[in-house]
Amino acid sequence: MWFWNTEVGWATVHPLLEANGWEYVQLVTWDKGLSHIAGNVNGNTIRQFPVVTEVSALHRRRLTLPTEDGGVLGVRQWLRAVWNHANGPTTGST
């Protein structure tokens, strides 16, 4: 999922995304450029620096699968458990 916002907006929502099973992957910063400043700043009333960047954060959903004993495993661990249960060879596996 791409989440597009200001850096403050993303920082506010990020903990909620993680708490609901989303995993952070990367953050891309977009520079709006000088034209954004020129059109949105009044030199007589400016009180702070204008916001000239936005961010886009990539999050992905953690995939977990149920086990027979009621637990959950990540996909890699689940696949290994199923493979071992079927007595599959483990030579060369990581």
Mean pLDDT calculated for residue range 55-80: 89
- Tokens 């009180």 locate to 47
According to the model, what pLDDT value does residue 3 have? 94
According to the model, what pLDDT value does residue 27 have? 95
Q: Which pLDDT band, with edges at 50, 70 and 90, does 90 fall under?
A: low
* 52: helix, strand or coil: coil
**Residue 93 in this model has a pLDDT that exceeds 70:** no
According to the model, what pLDDT value does residue 11 have? 94
Q: Say if CB 57 and CB 11 are below 8 A apart.
A: no
Q: The pTM is what?
A: 0.58
Mean pLDDT calculated for residue range 37-66: 81
